[in-house]
Structure 1
Amino acid sequence: MARMQTMRWFGVLSLGVLGLGAESAAGQDAPQDLARQIAPDTYVDPAARTLFEAAQRNWRSVDESIVRYTALIQQRIAAALRTPLKDRILYRNETAVRAFWDRDYDAVVQVLGTHSEYPGRSIAVREGDLDFLADLSFDDPFEPGGDRLIFSLDTGDDDESAFEQSDGVDFWVVHPLAIGSDSVYRFESGDTLSLSLPDGRRLQTVQLDILPREADIHRISGSLWIEPESGALVRAVYRLSRQFDAMRDVAELQEEEERGSFRFVPGLFNPWTFDLTMVAVEYSLWNLEVWLPRSMRIEGEIAAGILKMPVSMDIAYRMESVTTQSDLAQEETAEQAGLVERHFETRAEAMDFIAQLLSERDGVEYEPLSRSEEFASNREQLMIAPQERSLVDTSPYLPPPIWEEAAGFPSDDQLEEYVNTLAALPAPTIQGVPWTATWGWDRPDLLRYNRVEGPAIGGRYERNLGGPYTLDASGFFGFVDLMPKGRLDFQRSTVRRQLTLGGYNELQATDPRGRYLGFGNSVYAFLFGRDDGEYYRASGVDLTWGPPLSARESFEFRAYAERQWDAPVESSFALFHALDGSWTFRPNVIADEVDEVGAELRLSPWWGGEASRTQFGLDLYGQVASWRVTGGGTERTGTNYARASATLRVAIPLVPRRWRLGVEAALGTTFGDGTPQRQWFLGGANTLRGYPAGSARGSSFTRARLNLARTFDDIGSVSVFGDAGWAGDRGDFDDGNVLYGVGVGGSVLDGLLRFDLSHGLTGPQKQFRIDLYADALL
Structure 2
Amino acid sequence: MVARLLAALVLQSPAAPAPQQPDTLLSFSNAATRVLVTRAIARHRGQDSAVVDYSARLRYRLTAAVGRRRWGRFPVGTVEEQEATVAWHLPNDLRVDIVGRRAASRNGAPPLSSVFDRPWFVPRSVGDSVRIISNEFPATGALHPLAGDGPAFYHYDLTDSVTATIAGGRRIRLFAVQYTPKRAAPALVVGRLWLDAASAEVVRFTFRYVGSELFARPGEEGRDSAATRRLNRIASSIISIDADLEYGLQDGRYWMPYRQVIGGQVRVPLSEIVVPFQAVTTFQDYEINTGRTVAFSLPDADSVNSDSTRAARLARRDSVRAARQSQDEAARDTVSWARAGRWSGGRYEVHRPSNDSLRKYHGWTDSLQFELPGADDQRFRSAQADLARLSEELPDEITLRKAHGFAYQNLGDAIQFNRVQGVSLGAGYRTRLPGTDFADLFATLRYGFSDRRVTGRLSMVRDAPSGRVTVGGYHDVLDVDPFSPGKTFFNSFNALVTAHDDADYYLATGGVASLETAVGTGLDVVLTVRGERQRSVTQRARAGVNDLLGGTGDFAPNAPVDEGTYALGGVRLNGYGPMRWSLAAEGMAGTESRRSARVFGQAQRSFGGTRGATLRLKAGVAASPVEQYLFRLGGLNTLRGFGYGAERGEAFWSGQLDVSPLQSNIRPVLFIDAGHASAARDLFSDALVGGGVGVSVYSPLLRSTLFRLDLSHPISPGTGGKWRF
TM-score range, shorter chain: 0.7 to 0.9
- For 1:92 and 1:505, locate their aligned partners in 2 and report how far apart those are by CA, in whole Å: 45
Matched position secondary structure for 2:562 = coil
Contact between 1:422 and 1:495, CA under 8 Å: does it hold in 2? no
Over 3 Å counting, the alpha-carbon distance change for 1:321 and 1:465 in structure 2 is same
What RMSD over aligned residues (CA atoms) do the two structures have, in Å? 4.6
* Residue of structure 1 aligned with 2:616, choices 649, 664, 681: 664
* Residue of structure 1 aligned with 2:164, choices 170, 183, 195: 195
* Residue of structure 2 aligned with 1:146, choices 126, 136, 139: 126
* Residue of structure 2 aligned with 1:639, choices 566, 589, 594: 594
* Residue of structure 1 aligned with 2:692, choices 743, 750, 763: 743
**Residue of structure 1 equivalent to 2:576:** 606
- For 1:429 and 1:343, locate their aligned partners in 2 and report how far apart those are by CA, in whole Å: 44
- For 1:241 and 1:185, locate their aligned partners in 2 and report how far apart those are by CA, in whole Å: 12
- For 1:196 and 1:723, locate their aligned partners in 2 and report how far apart those are by CA, in whole Å: 64
Over 3 Å counting, the alpha-carbon distance change for 1:76 and 1:40 in structure 2 is same
* Residue of structure 2 aligned with 1:186, choices 145, 155, 178: 155
**Residue of structure 2 equivalent to 1:463:** 431
**Residue of structure 2 equivalent to 1:322:** 288
Contact between 2:191 and 2:206, CA under 8 Å: does it hold in 1? yes
**Residue of structure 2 equivalent to 1:93:** 80
**Residue of structure 2 equivalent to 1:67:** 52
What is the CA-CA distance between 1:104 and the residue it aligns to? 5.3
**Residue of structure 1 equivalent to 2:603:** 648
- For 1:297 and 1:256, locate their aligned partners in 2 and report how far apart those are by CA, in whole Å: 32
Pairs within 5 Å for 1:137-176: 139-140=119-120, 142-147=122-127, 155=135, 173-176=142-145
- For 1:215 and 1:696, locate their aligned partners in 2 and report how far apart those are by CA, in whole Å: 61
* Residue of structure 1 aligned with 2:705, choices 752, 765, 776: 752
Contact between 1:435 and 1:461, CA under 8 Å: does it hold in 2? no
What is the CA-CA distance between 1:733 and the residue it aligns to? 2.5
Question: For residues 154-192 of structure 1, what are the alpha-carbon distances to aligned partners after superposition, in whole Å with 9 as ceiling and x for unaligned?
Answer: 749xxxxxxxxxxx9865544333345445543333343
What is the CA-CA distance between 1:219 and the residue it aligns to? 4.5
Contact between 2:139 and 2:214, CA under 8 Å: does it hold in 1? no
Matched position secondary structure for 2:487 = coil
Contact between 2:633 and 2:639, CA under 8 Å: does it hold in 1? yes
What is the CA-CA distance between 1:557 and the residue it aligns to? 2.1
Contact between 2:421 and 2:451, CA under 8 Å: does it hold in 1? yes
Contact between 1:244 and 1:274, CA under 8 Å: does it hold in 2? no
Paired residue type of 2:647: A
Question: For residues 606-635 of structure 1, what are the alpha-carbon distances to aligned partners after superposition, in whole Å with 9 as ceiling and x for unaligned?
Answer: 12xxxxxxx12221112222211xxxxxxx
Question: For residues 709-764 of structure 1, what are the alpha-carbon distances to aligned partners after superposition, in whole Å with 9 as ceiling and x for unaligned?
Answer: 43537x5665544322122222332422x212233445434542445443322248
What is the CA-CA distance between 1:641 and the residue it aligns to? 2.3
Matched position secondary structure for 2:491 = helix
**Residue of structure 2 equivalent to 1:710:** 661
Paired residue type of 2:625: G
- For 1:86 and 1:494, locate their aligned partners in 2 and report how far apart those are by CA, in whole Å: 13
Per mean C-alpha deviation after superposition, the further-off stretch among 742-751 and 562-571 is: 742-751
Pairs within 5 Å for 1:467-478: 467-478=437-448
Over 3 Å counting, the alpha-carbon distance change for 1:706 and 1:578 in structure 2 is closer
**Residue of structure 2 equivalent to 1:334:** none
Paired residue type of 1:682: L
Over 3 Å counting, the alpha-carbon distance change for 1:122 and 1:173 in structure 2 is closer
Contact between 1:696 and 1:726, CA under 8 Å: does it hold in 2? yes
- For 2:193 and 2:253, locate their aligned partners in 1 and report how far apart those are by CA, in whole Å: 20
Per mean C-alpha deviation after superposition, the further-off stretch among 206-215 and 438-447 is: 438-447
Question: For residues 279-335 of structure 1, what are the alpha-carbon distances to aligned partners after superposition, in whole Å with 9 as ceiling and x for unaligned?
Answer: 222211000111111112222122452464322211111133111xxx77xx9xxxx
- For 1:253 and 1:624, locate their aligned partners in 2 and report how far apart those are by CA, in whole Å: 57
**Residue of structure 2 equivalent to 1:725:** 675
Unaligned runs of 5+ residues in structure 1 are 1-33, 126-131, 157-167, 262-269, 332-341, 351-371, 608-614, 629-636, 772-778
Pairs within 5 Å for 1:527-566: 527-547=497-517, 554-566=524-536
**Residue of structure 2 equivalent to 1:355:** none
**Residue of structure 2 equivalent to 1:451:** 419
What is the CA-CA distance between 1:412 and the residue it aligns to? 3.0
* Residue of structure 1 aligned with 2:42, choices 54, 57, 78: 57
Contact between 1:599 and 1:625, CA under 8 Å: does it hold in 2? yes
Contact between 1:646 and 1:666, CA under 8 Å: does it hold in 2? yes
Contact between 2:506 and 2:535, CA under 8 Å: does it hold in 1? yes
Pairs within 5 Å for 1:459-498: 459-466=427-434, 467-498=437-468
- For 1:689 and 1:471, locate their aligned partners in 2 and report how far apart those are by CA, in whole Å: 39
Matched position secondary structure for 1:66 = coil
What is the CA-CA distance between 1:603 and the residue it aligns to? 1.7
What is the CA-CA distance between 1:122 and the residue it aligns to? 14
Over 3 Å counting, the alpha-carbon distance change for 1:481 and 1:435 in structure 2 is farther
Over 3 Å counting, the alpha-carbon distance change for 1:199 and 1:435 in structure 2 is closer
What is the CA-CA distance between 1:428 and the residue it aligns to? 0.4
**Residue of structure 2 equivalent to 1:365:** none
* Residue of structure 2 aligned with 1:227, choices 190, 196, 208: 196
Over 3 Å counting, the alpha-carbon distance change for 1:232 and 1:254 in structure 2 is closer
Over 3 Å counting, the alpha-carbon distance change for 1:553 and 1:531 in structure 2 is farther
Contact between 1:194 and 1:204, CA under 8 Å: does it hold in 2? yes
Paired residue type of 1:309: V
Per mean C-alpha deviation after superposition, the further-off stretch among 171-180 and 516-525 is: 171-180
- For 1:113 and 1:728, locate their aligned partners in 2 and report how far apart those are by CA, in whole Å: 58
Query: Is the counterpart of residue 282 in structure 1 residue 246 in structure 2?
Result: yes
**Residue of structure 1 equivalent to 2:256:** 292
Over 3 Å counting, the alpha-carbon distance change for 1:580 and 1:404 in structure 2 is closer
Matched position secondary structure for 1:710 = coil
Over 3 Å counting, the alpha-carbon distance change for 1:194 and 1:622 in structure 2 is farther
What is the CA-CA distance between 1:468 and the residue it aligns to? 2.7
What is the CA-CA distance between 1:476 and the residue it aligns to? 0.8
The percent of aligned pairs where both chains have the same amino acid is 21
- For 2:529 and 2:101, locate their aligned partners in 1 and report how far apart those are by CA, in whole Å: 49
Over 3 Å counting, the alpha-carbon distance change for 1:171 and 1:276 in structure 2 is farther
Paired residue type of 1:139: P
Matched position secondary structure for 2:41 = helix
Over 3 Å counting, the alpha-carbon distance change for 1:534 and 1:424 in structure 2 is same
- For 1:566 and 1:184, locate their aligned partners in 2 and report how far apart those are by CA, in whole Å: 60
What is the CA-CA distance between 1:481 and the residue it aligns to? 0.8
- For 1:304 and 1:696, locate their aligned partners in 2 and report how far apart those are by CA, in whole Å: 37
Over 3 Å counting, the alpha-carbon distance change for 1:624 and 1:222 in structure 2 is farther
Pairs within 5 Å for 1:301-450: 301-305=265-269, 306=271, 308-323=274-289, 376=339, 380-386=347-353, 390-397=356-363, 403-405=370-372, 411-419=376-384, 421-422=386-387, 427-431=392-396, 434-438=402-406, 445-450=413-418
Contact between 1:147 and 1:154, CA under 8 Å: does it hold in 2? no
What is the CA-CA distance between 1:385 and the residue it aligns to? 5.0
Per mean C-alpha deviation after superposition, the further-off stretch among 55-64 and 278-287 is: 55-64
- For 1:683 and 1:242, locate their aligned partners in 2 and report how far apart those are by CA, in whole Å: 52
- For 1:228 and 1:89, locate their aligned partners in 2 and report how far apart those are by CA, in whole Å: 38
What is the CA-CA distance between 1:538 and the residue it aligns to? 0.8
Over 3 Å counting, the alpha-carbon distance change for 1:560 and 1:218 in structure 2 is farther
Length-normalised TM-score, structure 1: 0.72
What is the CA-CA distance between 1:402 and the residue it aligns to? 6.9
**Residue of structure 1 equivalent to 2:329:** none
What is the CA-CA distance between 1:203 and the residue it aligns to? 1.8
Unaligned runs of 5+ residues in structure 2 are 1-18, 301-334
What is the CA-CA distance between 1:97 and the residue it aligns to? 1.4
- For 2:83 and 2:679, locate their aligned partners in 1 and report how far apart those are by CA, in whole Å: 59
Query: Is the counterpart of residue 762 in structure 1 residue 725 in structure 2?
Result: no
Over 3 Å counting, the alpha-carbon distance change for 1:311 and 1:375 in structure 2 is same
